[in-house]
Structure 1
Amino acid sequence: MAEASTPRTYGNWRKPTTAGLMGLSTLGTMMLIGGLIFMVLVVMAAGLMAGMVVGGVLGVILLVLLNKDKHDRSLLARIADRVGWANTRSAGSHLYRSGPLGRTDWGTFQLPGLAAPSRLSEHTDSYGRPFALIHVPFTGHYTVVLGTEPDGAALVDREQVDLWVAGWGRWLANLGDEPGIEAASVTVETAPDTGTRLRREVDTHIDPDAPEFAKAMLREVVERYPSGSSTVKAYVAVTFSATARSGGKRRKAEEMGRDLAARLPGLTHGLSSTGAGAARPLSAQELCEVVRIAYDPAAAVLIDEAHAAGEKPELAWTDVGPTAHEATWSSYRHDGAVSVSWSMTAAPRGNVQSGVMSRLLAPHRDIARKRVTLLYRPLDAARAAAMVEADLRAAEFRQGSSKKPAARDVLATRQARATASEEASGAGLVNFGIVVTATVLNSDHKADAIAAIDNLSATARLRLRTVHGSQDSAFAAALPLGLVLPKHLKVPAEFREQL
């Protein structure tokens, strides 16, 4: 009798750190040393009292840098969030009104916020499939969105699931070798079924000569079944840079369309070994429908009914935005719905199995629509090697700076050494994050949705934080639009990480 195999586990996710004193980063340590030297010079030049004033200012700076919450956010970052939110409210940027009666000059329903400057065009790949191409001129990025039909893990052997996970890891690692790749994202959306497809299926197949009891039963199924059913859709967005190489000329949409037409079949074919099912690029019309329904959930019924009637709803990219929205400190109201978004601040500690996020991805009765988006930024081989070596040196410095290092520092050094060894063996390195958005149709149900996400994140062993003051931007980031958030920051992400 064959022995049962041990379930495969995954882990060793690390957030890169830099070496420093007193828990500070390298930049913070340099500021500390520079401040102490300046304080000594002030004492020598202006006396003890002036030096004490400088020391007090230095102490306040250290306080705002070292005082961190459970999400590892410093007091300085939290103050910056409050100041930024106050500026947003004073400027009225948290309100948006579009359309002919809106405040915008163009009179269309343009997407708000980060997605406002985006442009949409449609091209055809080498397989003859139309695909939508999103262009964000501000960052110089082009995004292709792929629609997938995941097979799911129900009634699937554990060995097959392990093969799918390995295939997904290879697909992500290969993205680092693709020229011009900036980022990738996976969006899993759960929503209530409108019942239109079921009604169409029953109406077209029902026998008019069938017994009245059978027809009554089918009519009852059509009326009641959609109230408890859900749909699950998955999208993969791949973002490319407009420049073929560093310092190169930015390419136009036509040039990018011709380049990606030959590369899309390889990307979609690679997803077949990851459990994503049949992958195909979304057309411009399909992408417009996805975004429109996200901002106005009530439009889902109308769009499904149009498809059931054999009609094609004509939607342009200038028509998919909300009619009105209002962003608050901790929520986002848009076209008759209320959404709350969270971002991941800590990956699961320890080892987890492949189904750790299954409950978070599954439909929930307290949430009308839910999107879980995994954001990936592949690193090329040269940058990955430098990053893991710097992270290993920083971990060894923290462990060696004390005669009795903490157990967490010893574990961090062991994990950094394992990551460096795997990277040297040819493994790819990817920065990743998660954005979760829960949408309810009634503001009275918002508290239930928040409680549900808190419970689901605990089962996934994730640490999520409400995106305070940037709910509209987080909502857009969770959509399959390929927005690369670090490129939209006023303060560079590299400088933020150093603090």
Structure 2
Amino acid sequence: MAAAADPAGHAPRTYGNWRRPTSPGLLGLGTVGTMILLGGLIVVVLVVMLADLITALLVAAALGVVLLSIAVRDKHGMNAVDKGTARVGWWRQRTAGEHLYRSGPLGRTPWGTHQLPGLAAASRLTEHHDSYGRPFALVYVPATTSYTVVIGTEPDGAALVDEEQVDAWVSDWGLWLANLGDEPGIIAASVTVETAPDTGTRLRREVTTHLDPDAPEFARRLLAETVRDYPAGSSTVRAYVALTFTAARGGGKRRKPAEFARELGARLPALTAELQATGAGPAHPVDALELCEIVRVAYDPAAATAIDEAHATGEVPPLTWSDVGPSAHETSWDAYRHDSGLSVTWAMTGAPRGNVQSSILARLLAPHRDIARKRVTLLYRPIDAASAAAIVEADLRAAQFRQTATDKPTARDVLATRAAALTAQEEAAGAGLVNFGMLVTATVMDTGREMDARAAVENLAATARLRLRPVYGSQDSAFAAALPLGLVLPRHVSLPSEVRDRL
């Protein structure tokens, strides 16, 4: 069998050159580790001068243990300090009983509602209208003083689409991300792709409302059989884009929801129109009721059938923001039990190495038979043009320092320097800079299927050339961050990310 050749001779387009910024340091240590090393050596010298050699050797041994705990990392880039901090935080959480949550009239909360737990507990929801008259939900998170708007999309996928069209979509998506850095006040963005089993309610409603009463008996039986059997094994795919803005003005004054909504309402039509050019399909702002349903079904997957049935009969589910949380949840070291579901969330610790094609995430985003509900969330933090230049130049200097710190640099150090130089050139030519990450949440209805779901996600991660690690000790927070709520995790941690990156 002969393979058909491309008459134009076009090779498949590939993408890559993403890298994690590094900080300069000696012996593989970052800036903070190098400072600890130099400070420790000074202390050792002082101990030798003021005490004896045995004491100095003990101090040097203690310093060596500290440096090893910082320098030695596993395949996920975690050192002993990171793992120890997670263990201590988990122990404090269990000691305080914060891993358990009971809400509702019989719960342990004094207000008697099903409020969202954890990072989203203090969030508030309001609804406004944009300049086109479309309603949109606005989520305010007091802990980070930020507002989040959610955009619903209906992507058609890349099936039966020309390669040139896919390349154009990817190019427009990169341009859309780059333009986010110029949006006033934006601090983060996320894209959530959720796959879930189809309840069949929408199909049944569509057939029953359009069925001709004079149709032949054979056609009526065929449609009835289709409505009965087709939903078994079928899935629905939904995608949401969440944009998070700071509530503070340039001068530092916080804006009220109504004031910020007036400003955002004028910008929202342009954002949705530009998003449609990326292959996302028709984009529309998500209103308050739809967002309540999204969050409610995430915490209680069994509620999806009742909500679909209500819409099928023309009813509006009476959901408010104070009723979308779970009635009970229990967080364990590596899993999260909530109402009718059990979820496990992984975080990306390594992007695909080398160059990849545009379909690299296709299997990870597709429905899987061993996972009842799967949620893949890409997290973005746009960087403004003023800060991007300083970041890429600092990263280039750090890569060059690591390469020249030894007479025989490794191949990875050489390639890292080339990648950093290429990134600096692209940024100087006008390209945008974005920090990104990924969270993958797998939810099962039967606890006996947990191991199957874990194995499925690990296999899918391998096909996407991703390095995923379960979010140990913080499964509840990671679950909430994977929802389209605009929770910016680096702003919720005690130690700033700038300090952690320099260890």
* TM-score w.r.t. length of structure 1: 0.98
**Which of these residues, 70, 80, 84, is aligned with residue 79 of structure 1?**
84
- The DSSP-based 3-state class of the residue aligned with 2:230 is helix
Matched, 1:96 2:101: yes
Partner of 2:489: 485
Amino acid aligned to 1:387? I
2:276 and 2:223 map into 1 onto residues whose CA distance is 36
| Higher deviation after alignment, 45-54 or 109-118 | 45-54
Q: What's the counterpart of residue 62 of structure 1?
A: 67
State the one-letter code of the partner of 1:158: E
Is 1:412 aligned to residue 416 of structure 2? yes
Measured after TM superposition, the shift of residue 211 of structure 1 is: 4.2
The one of 189, 194, 197 equivalent to 1:184 is: 189
Question: Residue type matched to 1:403 in 2?
Answer: D
- Amino acid paired to 2:209: T
Kept after mapping to 2: 8 A contact 1:457/1:464: yes
Gaps of 5+ in 2: 1-5
Task: State the percentage of identical aligned residues.
Answer: 68
Asked if 1:249 corresponds to 2:253, the answer is yes
Match of 1:30 in 2: 35
Determine which of 152, 161, 168 is the counterpart of 1:156: 161
Other-structure match for 2:263: 259
Residues 364-403 of structure 1 deviation map (CA, whole Å, 9 limit, x = unaligned): 0110000000000000111111110011011111111111
- 2:58 maps to what in 1? 53
CA distance in 2, matches of 1:327, 1:483: 19
Q: Look up the equivalent residue of 1:166 and give its one-letter code.
A: S
Give the Cα–Cα distance (whole angstroms) in 2 for the partners of residues 41 and 77 of structure 1. 30
Q: Name which of 219, 225, 244 aligns with 2:224.
A: 219
- Structure 1 counterpart of 2:451: 447
| Alignment partners' CA distance in 2, 1:4 and 1:192 | 41
Q: In 1, distance between residues paired with 2:209 and 2:387?
A: 58
Amino acid across the alignment from 1:187:
T
Q: What is aligned with 2:293?
A: 289
Distance 1:314 1:260 in 2: 27
Residue in structure 2 matching 1:466, options 458, 462, 470: 470
| Stretches of structure 1 lacking an aligned partner (at least 5 in a row) | none
Equivalent in 154, 157, 173 of residue 178 of structure 2: 173
CA–CA separation in structure 2 for the residues paired with 1:404 and 1:53: 32
For residues 407 and 89 of structure 1, the distance between their equivalents in structure 2, rounded to whole angstroms, comes to 44
Q: Is the 8 A contact 1:97 1:103 kept in 2?
A: yes
Q: Name the CA distance, whole Å, in 1 between partners of 2:188 and 2:425.
A: 24
Which residue of structure 2 lines up, in the alignment, with residue 39 of structure 1? 44
Once the two structures are TM-superposed, the CA of residue 215 in structure 1 deviates from its matched residue by 2.6
1:12 paired to 2:17: yes
Task: Report the TM-score when normalising by structure 2.
Answer: 0.98
Task: For residue 438 of structure 2, give the secondary structure of its aligned residue in structure 1.
Answer: strand
Pairing partner for 1:112 from 111, 117, 127: 117
* Residue of structure 1 equivalent to 2:273: 269
Q: Is the 8 A contact 2:23 2:501 kept in 1?
A: no
Q: Match of 2:296, as an amino acid?
A: R
Q: 1:389: which partner in 2?
A: 393
Worse overlay, 249-258 or 427-436: 249-258
CA distances 1:421-461 after superposition (whole Å, capped 9, x unpaired): 00000000000000000000001001011101011111111
Give 1:4 deviation, angstroms.
3.2
Match of 1:337 in 2: 341
Give the counterpart of 1:236 among 238, 241, 247: 241
1:424 and 2:428 equivalent? yes
Of the structure 1 ranges 199-208 and 43-52, higher mean CA displacement relative to structure 2 is found in 199-208
Q: Secondary structure at the match of 2:354?
A: coil
Instruction: Give the SS at the match of 2:74.
Output: coil
Aligned equivalents of 1:5 and 1:98: distance in 2? Answer: 59
Q: Distance in 1 between matches of 2:119 and 2:135?
A: 26
SS in 1 for 2:159: coil
CA distance in 2, matches of 1:87, 1:493: 22
For 2:321 and 2:36, the matched residues in 1 are separated by 48
Deviation at 1:218, TM superposition (A): 2.1
Q: Per-residue deviation at 1:30?
A: 0.9
The CA deviation at 1:331 is: 0.5
**Shift of residue 217, structure 1, vs aligned partner:** 2.7
Alpha-carbon separation, structure 2, partners of 1:466 and 1:219: 44
2:406 to 402, 413, 424: 402
Q: What code does the residue aligned with 2:368 have?
A: H
Number of aligned residue pairs = 498
| One-letter amino acid matched to 2:75 | K
For 2:33, the aligned partner's letter is G
Instruction: State how far apart, in whole Å, the 2-side matches of 1:3 and 1:474 are.
Output: 46
2:423, 2:481 → 1: CA distance? Answer: 29
Alignment RMSD (CA, Å): 1.0
Equivalence for 1:366: 370
The answer to whether the 8 Å contact 1:179/1:244 transfers is no
What secondary structure, in the 3-state scheme, does the structure 2 residue paired with 1:329 have? coil
* 1:124 is aligned to 2:129: yes
- Provide Cα deviations, 1:258-308, integer angstroms capped at 9, x if missing partner: 110111111111101100111110100110001001101111111111111
**Residue pair 1:175, 1:378 contacting (<8 A) in 2 also:** yes
| Partner AA of 1:45 in structure 2 | L
SS for the counterpart of 1:275 is helix
Distance 1:192 1:447 in 2: 19
> Which segments of structure 1 move beyond 4 Å, counting only runs of 4 or more?
none
Letter aligned with residue 398 of structure 2: A
SS class of match (2:206): helix
CA distance in 1, matches of 2:247, 2:82: 32
Alignment correspondent of 2:3:
none
Instruction: Say yes or no: does 1:307 pair with 2:322.
Output: no
